[in-house]
Amino acid sequence: MKLTDLYQQFRNPDIIKALAAQINQYSSQITSNINIMEVCGGHTHTIMKYGLKQLLPANINFIHGPGCPVCIMPKERIDHAAALAQLPDVILLTLGDMIRVPGSNGNLAQYRAKGCDIRPLYDPMDALSIAKDNPNKTIIFFAIGFETSTPMTAVLIDQAEKQQINNLLFHINHVLVPPAIDAVMADPQARVNAFIGPAHVSVISGAKIYQAAVDQYQTPVVVSGFEPVDVMESILRIVKQKYNDTAQLDIQYSRAVNYDGNQAAQALINQYLTLRDSFRWRGLGPIPDSALTLKPEFAHRDAEIIFKQHLPTVEIDDHKACQCGDILRGIANPQDCKVFGKGCSPESPLGSCMVSSEGACNAYYRYTGVTNAG
């Protein structure tokens, strides 16, 4: 089998056009707006990158939710990473775009240029070999991400414990999707009346984590894959639910997601991590029980505890002009922000939504404005 066989059908133009036709047919019989929040930045990226919005009717709106690990990271946590990286004999490890997120005094790439040993990893498991290769240094993994990437951190902790790699510490910033959905819906201005649920999250946690949102807010939730056909099919399923006036939990990405998820991964996470009392989300503010931290018995690996006296405690708000908070809550679109594409661009982002390729502002900046092109 060719590799392209794995995804080509999910980008088949005929299927995409047929799905668009069906969506248009159903939605023409619905008078109200369908305001779909794609919780995950990956879906935002798909919608923009593949120009799917151009195929859809005017009464379908997208609201870009808080599901991007980079976008929701408050400045003070980046400041923590910077403070740790500046300690003597420390190697700070993190993933991808996190080195571009602005803290209150620059991003991690800038600290790296000043001489700090900061390394973005392709594979979190590389943290083990880096720790083994540098026995006289303290290796700190600045762990980020939603339910999707949490198991990798749990495996790392597990291996560090089993192999007694004592110089590998963790700064845990793992966050959870359901409390963020609650925070969005708690806002009196919330306009969301349907959700596209992140599939990768549900591969681990199962579709069950969205059941409460369906029941409480009477909104359809369709757990969706990330290819264009996946997203279009999920939109069709939402539109059909709206047409039938129902609100159900639905799994479009059934090739990898079930109701209960990966229970082995969940068990490993529960072995090492526990709920944090509160985590301050960028744009959404503090949300109780919305993030994880190391269990007390693993305090010997917790960089937040071991280096507590070096970590700043000041909470830092966004730049005044930045509307990332409203965008993450679904109250504003990227183009509503006064600094969008002017003072704030991917080259010099004011807000995190412009940093990550999965951020709503970044996706809008890169891809939109060509609807007349043919």
By CB under 8 A, residue 52 contacts another protein: yes
By CB under 8 A, residue 228 contacts another protein: yes
- Which of 136, 372 has the CB closer to another protein? 372
The region of 11-19, 82-90, 217-225, 264-272 touching another protein under the rule CB under 8 A is: 11-19
By CB under 8 A, residue 145 contacts another protein: yes
In angstroms, what is the minimal distance from the CB of 370 to another protein?
5
The region of 76-84, 142-150, 172-180, 303-311 touching another protein under the rule CB under 8 A is: 142-150
User: Considering only residues 165-224, where is the footprint of another protein by CB under 8 A?
Assistant: 200
Q: How far apart are CA 335 and CA 123, in angstroms?
A: 35
Q: Which residues contact 115 (CB under 8 A, 6 or more apart)?
A: none
- Which of 75, 100 has the CB closer to another protein? 100
In angstroms, what is the minimal distance from the CB of 97 to another protein?
6
Closest among 246, 297, 314, 326 to 103, alpha carbons compared: 314
By CB under 8 A, residue 22 contacts another protein: no
Q: How far apart are CA 35 and CA 20, in angstroms?
A: 17
- Cβ atoms of 204 and 151 within 8 Å: the answer is yes
Q: How far apart are CA 367 and CA 137, in angstroms?
A: 43
- Cβ atoms of 281 and 181 within 8 Å: the answer is no
Q: Give CA separation, 194 vs 214, 219, 225, in Å.
A: 9, 5, 16
Partners of 194 in the beta sheet?
Answer: 36
By CB under 8 A, residue 49 contacts another protein: yes
In angstroms, what is the minimal distance from the CB of 201 to another protein?
8
Q: How far apart are CA 146 and CA 140, in angstroms?
A: 19
Q: Give CA separation, 134 vs 99, 129, 200, in Å.
A: 22, 8, 33
Token pair listed for 242: 């709206």
Q: How far apart are CA 177 and CA 207, in angstroms?
A: 12
In angstroms, what is the minimal distance from the CB of 218 to another protein?
29
Q: How many residues sit in the footprint of another protein (CB under 8 A)?
A: 55
What is the biggest distance separating any 2 CA atoms in the chain, rounded to whole angstroms? 68
At 184 the three-state DSSP class reads: helix
In angstroms, what is the minimal distance from the CB of 216 to another protein?
26
In angstroms, what is the minimal distance from the CB of 2 to another protein?
6
Buried b vs exposed e over 156-176: b needs ≥16 C-beta within 10 Å?
A: bbeebbeeebebbbbbbbbbb
The region of 16-24, 252-260, 271-279, 321-329 touching another protein under the rule CB under 8 A is: 16-24
The region of 81-89, 162-170, 237-245, 362-370 touching another protein under the rule CB under 8 A is: 362-370
**In the stretch 70-99, what mask flags binding to another protein with x, by CB under 8 A?**
x------------------------xxxxx
Among 34, 36, 37, 48, binds another protein (CB under 8 A): 48
In angstroms, what is the minimal distance from the CB of 126 to another protein?
6
User: Is 146 exposed, middle or buried, given 0-12, 13-18 or 19+ CB atoms closer than 10 A?
Assistant: buried
Q: How far apart are CA 220 and CA 60, in angstroms?
A: 14
Among 33, 35, 59, 357, binds another protein (CB under 8 A): 357
Among 46, 149, 167, 266, binds another protein (CB under 8 A): 149
The region of 27-35, 42-50, 182-190, 331-339 touching another protein under the rule CB under 8 A is: 42-50
The alpha carbon of residue 24 and the mean position of all alpha carbons in its chain are separated, in whole angstroms, by 29
By CB under 8 A, residue 164 contacts another protein: no
By CB under 8 A, residue 372 contacts another protein: yes
Q: What is the dihedral of CA 78, 84, 87, 91, to 10 degrees?
A: -100
The region of 21-29, 161-169, 295-303, 355-363 touching another protein under the rule CB under 8 A is: 355-363
Contact positions vs another protein (CB under 8 A): 2-4, 6-7, 11, 13, 16-17, 20, 42, 48-55, 69-70, 95-100, 109, 120-123, 126, 144-146, 148-149, 200, 228, 346-347, 356-358, 365-374
